[in-house]
Each structure stands twice: as structure tokens, then as C-alpha cells.
Amino acid sequence: MIHVMPSQTRSPSAITHSTLSPPLRSTEKILIIGDVHGCLVELKEIVAAAESLLDAHEKLRIILVGDLVNKGPFSAEVIQYVRSQEWCCVMGNHDEYIAKFFRDEDWDASKNWIHKLSIEDRQWLLDLPYTISIPQTNSIVVHAGLLPGVPLEAQRLKDMILMRTVSRGEGQAWQAHEVLGEGMAWAEIWSSQSSDECPIVIDGKGTVPHIYFGHDARRGLQRTKHATGLDTGCCYGGCLSACLLVNSGKHSKLIQIHPKTVYKDVSRNKKKIADRSRVLWALGFAVALLGVAHGLK
């Protein structure tokens, strides 16, 4: 059991938003990195690739879209490395999943890598904000997405770390869904908003902010007018993706690093689901036959 001092716990309902601080300098460029999921080697490589694109006097400010942990081989090491570099990161659903073990002082036995984390590492994870605004580039980083038409302070925790699609609800307001088949990709709807419809203003000019997010590895890279999805399934054998923001965020350079191996085999999960479905179908069929036999007596 992991013991956490009371002062180090945070209610799961305590949603925090932050603004990049200190403000971006003229000699700095923003690098936004997609879901890492324990892929430490690839994380270091993508940062090195971005640094090779800088001029001699330029430096990087790095922000990660969350889901630092689980699935890949180096969850604890990724947390420790990101923290040691003083990079910024938003809370992902997998990070939130681990953080709740600290709050409850208990954890999933399959996550024994948690033992490697110091009290300071755990507190750092607990304190991650759910969004990071970058006024100089008129952009916001969030893990899964933002609900169109909703002010930043009214966004729900669940939506920010789990949403993939949106549909019209009661009163024609947008509502979020976690499942791909329900509604439309939220990023496409976000990009269809006009500045008059968008209640989130971070640049002082009333323009729709560009959202950088992750979470949706099934869709892969998403690039719409006002949103960029950067989860391209590195742990599944896809690649780790990042955007280097240039020209005050008006343009971005895509950087991608392929993983050394497939860390998480999706086909195994699909086979387990298929096998489970076949067993359930067979059981259902057997129950139906018993019902017929009983009716014939």
C-alpha cells in the first residue's frame, strides 16, 4: 500500500487550469508532444529531433498532452525524466488513473512500477493541470478535448481526459462521448466554431484558440483548422508525434519518431475480446437450446 500525506492528496473534482509561465520568450519555441505511455527512449529522441531544427540561439519549451504512463516499458522513468527537465504536462486519463491510487492509498497490483516513484514524483503527478493555455500562440493543450460552446472553467474533468466525439443533446447543446461511434469527432466541430460562438478567449482578440490534444490513437493524427490530435499510438507500433510551433503558433512542423518495438500488442486485446464474445455467444446459444428443450417437454 502506498501512503500519501493528507497535504499531498487532491480531490478528483479539483480541476486546475494553468497558463504557460513564465511567458514565452522570443528565443523560445514550443514543442507539444503526444501520448508517451512509458516510451522513454522515443521521448528523448523526439526532443533531440526538434532541437536539431532550432537556430543556435533558440531553445525549446516543452509541453506534453498527458498519458505519460502505462502500456509502455518505462512509466516511472518517464515521470521522473519529465519532472527533472521541468517540462510542462497536462493530466491524461492514465495519469488520473494512477493518481487516484495515491488518493485512495491503494493501487492495481499490475502497476508495481509505482514503487519506483518518490513522494515528490507522486505529488508532481497529482498536481498536473487539466489544461495549459499559451496566450502567445493562442493555443490550449488538453489531453482528450474541450466541449464546444462551453467556457474553460465550466469544462468537465471527465470530458477533458476521455472525450472523443460530440453530439447534440437537449437544447441543442453539445455533449461529449468516449466511444468513437457516438457522434462526430469533437475536433471537427471545434474547428467549425466561429469566434462569436467560442466562449474561450486566451489571446485577448476573441479568436478561436487552437487546441492540441492526444488520447485518440484510433483516429491517429488529426489536423483540423483549430485542433491538432497527436496520439499516433507509439506504444502500439505507430509513432510518437510532436508539433514544433513556429511563427507565433500560426504554423507548426510535425515531427515523428517510430518506436523500437511494439510495446503493447493490440491484436492480443482484440483476440481476447473476440474469444470472450465467442464464449458468451456459445453460452447464450446453449441457454436458448435448454429453453427450447424445456418448452418441448
- Which pLDDT score, from 0 to 100, does residue 44 have? 98
CA dihedral sign of residues 23, 133, 228, 268: positive
Rounded distance, CA 187 to CA 191, Å? 6
pLDDT at 208 over 50: yes
Place of cell 487546441: 211
pLDDT tens for 84-133 read: 999 999 999 999 999 887 776 666 666 788 889 999 999 999 999 999 99
Rounded distance, CA 108 to CA 173, Å? 37
Residue 216: all three cell numbers together: 485518440
pLDDT tens for 239-291 read: 999 999 987 777 889 999 999 999 987 654 444 433 443 444 455 545 555 55
- Which pLDDT score, from 0 to 100, does residue 3 have? 30
Rounded distance, CA 16 to CA 157, Å? 9
pLDDT tens for 70-92 read: 999 999 999 999 999 999 999 99
Of the chain, the percentage scoring pLDDT greater than 70 comes to 82
Other C-beta atoms lying within 10 Å of the C-beta of residue 258: 12
142: confidence class by pLDDT, cuts 50, 70, 90: very high
- Which pLDDT score, from 0 to 100, does residue 8 have? 37
231: confidence class by pLDDT, cuts 50, 70, 90: very high
10: confidence class by pLDDT, cuts 50, 70, 90: very low
Of the chain, the percentage scoring pLDDT greater than 90 comes to 62
Q: Give 200's contacts (C-beta < 8 A, 6+ positions apart).
A: 140, 146, 151, 152, 209
190: confidence class by pLDDT, cuts 50, 70, 90: very high
- Which pLDDT score, from 0 to 100, does residue 115 have? 85
pLDDT tens for 261-274 read: 999 876 544 444 33
Query: Which has the higher per-residue pLDDT, 293 or 197?
Result: 197
- Which pLDDT score, from 0 to 100, does residue 184 have? 92
pLDDT at 7 over 50: no
- Which pLDDT score, from 0 to 100, does residue 289 have? 58
Lowest mean pLDDT among 28-37, 135-144, 261-270: 261-270
